[in-house]
Amino acid sequence: MLNKINISLGRQKLIVYLVLTVITFAVFWQVNQYAFINLDDDVYVTANSRIQSGITLNGFLWAFSTGYSDTWNPLVWLSFMFDYQLHGLNAGGYHLTNVILHVMSALLLFWLFNRMTGAIWRSAFVASLFALHPLHVESVAWIAERKDVLSAFFWMLTLCLYVYYTEKPILRRYLPVLLCFTCALMSKPMVVTLPVIMILLDYWPLRRFQLHKTNLILWQLKEKVPFFVFSAVFSIITIYLHYNTPIEHFPLGSRIANALVSLVTYLEKTFWPHDMAIFYPFPAQIPAWQVIVASLLIILISATVIVMVKRLPCLFAGWMWFTITIAPVIGIIQDSGQAMADRYHYLPSIGIGIMLAWGIPLLFPNKNTRKIILFPLAIVFLTIISFLTWQQCGYWKNSVELFKNTLRATKNNFVAHNCLASALVAEGKSVEAIIHCNEAIRLYPDYVDAYNNRGIAYHQLGQYQQAIGDYNKAIRIRPNADAYYNRGLIFTKLSQDQLAFNDFNLTIRLKPNDTDALINRGVIYLNYGYRELGCYDAQKACDLGNCKMLERAKSNGLCR
């Protein structure tokens, strides 16, 4: 359409870059005013003393040596340290970084497909679908999911540099590709599938297979082996770190059934984004008909794209992109207690965009008809999903809004009940919080976090024995630092210092860098005249970023 009014290709691309940037920022800008949420944001930022030390040499070494949060993603930690250096604990700054990374990934995605195909508007559609889809709100609006937007940025940059390398395959262009891939892996291990996507792009749209027909396997091995070695190493690290993660394990048959149904659900939500939630509970039972229908649909689509691969390689490439990139998180190898997650749609959605952008025009053989019908339809479709994305962003304002919406969108969601209870406790709404804790425990009787939160709510109400009972129950299920620490606080309030001291000791044994436990144990030491031990705890807490006790002890002449 823009060709018709004589706008040059360069200006058309510039228009795409500008419009895509402005619209994406406009849709997501509201998150700049939002708060941290109480699911994982504490692990990554608000209760992480390492992050709150800012960018330091010790922090840098910690980022590259820690398996904290059961994942090795040093670049994520460094990005949060950088944000803290700039914004402190102002959540808006962290949100803004996520949005900027998301926008940059969308722009790189447009450059990538336009460079490979020369199809400006089809490439623009793929990039716009990625940038503006409602299922991607979770990846952008959730601060703890920095790993999604950061790894996606390096994913796109890796592929852009790879295309640049394929135009002139020399070592000087190859090494930056490998470096960026390593950065992607150090952001989120889900990107281990990227070497396979490179091979897929070699087939279509780069069509490099045609240039290496005689030595196809040897050529691919020579070029891709370093990438596959890196993927294998990071996969082993991830499996090792997740090995001792306390999650409820589901039978293999249930996981396979859930994977099939979830794959089709992702497809459904691509075209009809509804009932989006931050946590989807693993179903107690999946109806057989759903598994059968999902299996048949997957087989039908797969068979169709394979049969038509020579005539329509774009459909094969799009479907393979979708299924390959979602495979590590489809749940057959279990790493969490959820059935699926909106954020897992983030990179795989590009494959569906490819199928739509290059597949739908085939239904309209006449070029003029395509322009008259498809361009307006694409605008309408993108406008609708942009509005839905803007609306979905609104639910991420704070924890209460987010988890109330999650309870509306899902059934029997014990995690949402517990997180809402935690948010209500933070607002002092203890009675309402207890109701949601009760519901979480009813749905999942061994839910340690729900007992902890109910204990905190009882503590706020002054019902100390009920609170201690809940902490005891949480500890019987699984000894954990939070229950010991919270029980220690109650013992302190009841002047049972020996019991409090024992609980703070147990807290520190399980969580050595818990500055609050160190401070409370230090106070007990000082109160009983053990100045050296008390000052040691105060100093250690200060080294971890919490200096309030040490400063107070120094002002009182208790510590040097």
Cβ 420 vs Cβ 399: under 8 Å: yes
CATH number of the domain at 527, please.
Answer: 1.25.40.10
Between 128-137, 156-165, 281-290, 364-373, the lowest mean confidence (pLDDT) is in 364-373
Q: How many CA atoms lie within 13 A of 45 on its CB side?
A: 28
User: Domain for residue 58, yes or no?
Assistant: yes
Q: Which of 6-15, 148-157, 426-435 has the lowest mean pLDDT?
A: 6-15
pLDDT for residue 556: 76
The type of residue at 56 is: T
Residue 94 inside a domain? The answer is yes
Considering 44-58, 487-501, 546-560, the range whose residues carry the highest mean pLDDT is 487-501
Q: How far is it, in rounded angstroms, from Cα 355 to Cα 462?
A: 60
Confidence of residue 37 (pLDDT cuts 50, 70, 90): very high
Query: Domain residues for 165?
Result: 3-394
Tally the domains of the chain. 2
pLDDT tops 80 at residue 344 = yes
Q: Are residues 207 and 167 in contact, defined by beta-carbon separation less than 8 angstroms? A: no
- Asked if residue 407 and residue 364 are part of one domain, the reply reads no
- Domain contains 203: yes
- Do residues 388 and 405 share a domain? no
Confidence at residue 208, expressed as pLDDT on a 0 to 100 scale: 93
Q: Name the domain boundary from 378, 394, 410.
A: 394
Q: Could you tell me if 333 and 470 lie in one domain?
A: no
What's the whole-number average pLDDT of the chain? 94
The per-residue pLDDT for 1 is 46
The pLDDT tens digits for 56-82 are: 998 999 999 988 887 899 999 999 999
Residues 316 and 425 in one domain: no
Rounded-to-integer distance, Cα 210 and Cα 204, Å = 10
Burial class (CB in 10 A: 0-12, 13-18, 19+), 463: middle
What is the Cα–Cα distance from 492 to 498, expressed in whole angstroms?
Answer: 9
Mean pLDDT of 230-257: 83
461: region left, alpha or beta (phi > 0 left; psi from -120 to 50 alpha): alpha
Are 355 and 494 part of one and the same domain? no
CA separation for the pair 560, 558 (Å, rounded): 7
pLDDT digits (tens, 9 = 90+) for 371-382: 889 999 999 999
The reply to whether 510 and 545 lie within a common domain is yes
How many whole angstroms separate alpha carbon 435 and alpha carbon 299? 45
Residue 505 reports pLDDT greater than 80 = yes
Can you tell me the distance from the alpha carbon of 214 to that of 84, in angstroms, rounded to the nearest whole number?
54
Could you say which of 394, 418, 453 is where a domain stops? 394
Residues 515 and 415 in one domain: yes
User: Which of 151-165, 212-226, 516-530 shows the highest mean pLDDT?
Assistant: 151-165
329 and 474 together in one domain: no
Domain-ending residue, one of 394, 424, 442:
394
Q: Which tokens in the block code for residue 87?
A: 């914004």
What pLDDT was estimated at residue 351? Answer: 98
| pLDDT at residue 69 in the model | 81
CA 113 remoteness from chain centre: 25
On whether the CB atoms of residues 203 and 313 are closer than 8 A, the answer is yes
Whether 560 is in a domain gets the answer: no
Q: Which of 249-258, 285-294, 346-355, 387-396 has the lowest mean pLDDT?
A: 249-258
Q: How far is CA 238 from CA 6, 148, 324, 346, 452, in A?
A: 52, 16, 18, 20, 29
Q: Is the pLDDT of residue 38 over 80?
A: yes
Query: From CA 90, how far away is CA 451, in angstroms rounded?
Result: 30
In a domain, 344, yes or no: yes
Task: Flag whether 71 is in a domain.
Answer: yes
The predicted structure's pLDDT at residue 384: 97
Percent pLDDT > 70 in the chain is 98
17 and 138 together in one domain: yes
| pLDDT (mean) for 449-459 | 97
Residue 27 has pLDDT above 50, yes or no: yes
- Indicate if 122 and 70 belong to the same structural domain: yes
Q: Are residues 247 and 310 in the same domain?
A: yes
Q: Residue 205, preceding bond cis, omega within 30 degrees?
A: yes
Average pLDDT, integer, range 494-519: 94
**What is the structure's pLDDT at 399?**
97
Tokens of 131: 């940038």
Average pLDDT score over residue span 160-177: 97
- 52-55, long-range: CB < 8 A, 24+ apart: 52/84, 52/89, 52/545, 53/81, 53/544, 53/545, 54/81, 54/84, 54/85, 55/81, 55/82, 55/85
Residues 355 and 318: beta-carbon distance below 8 Å? yes
Q: Residue 35 carries which DSSP code? A: P
List, as own/partner pairs, every contact residues 8-15 make where C-beta atoms lie below 8 angstroms and the sequence separation is at least 24, other chains included: 9/120, 12/120, 13/114, 13/120
- For residues 341 and 406, membership in a common domain is answered with no
What's the pLDDT at 246?
Answer: 57
Q: Which candidate, 133, 168, 145, places its Cα nearest to that of 386?
A: 133
Residue found under tokens 């024992």: 502
Over range 477-505, report the average pLDDT.
Answer: 96
Long-range contacts of 75-80 (CB under 8 A, 24+ apart): 75/150, 75/183, 75/186, 75/187, 76/44, 76/146, 76/147, 76/150, 76/187, 76/188, 77/50, 77/51, 79/146, 79/150, 80/44, 80/45, 80/48, 80/51, 80/146
Which pLDDT band holds residue 243 (cuts at 50, 70, 90)? Answer: low
Residue 427, in any domain of the structure? yes
C-alpha pair distances (Å), 462 with each of 178, 458, 490, 498: 58, 6, 10, 21
Residues forming beta bridges with residue 521, ordered by sequence position: none
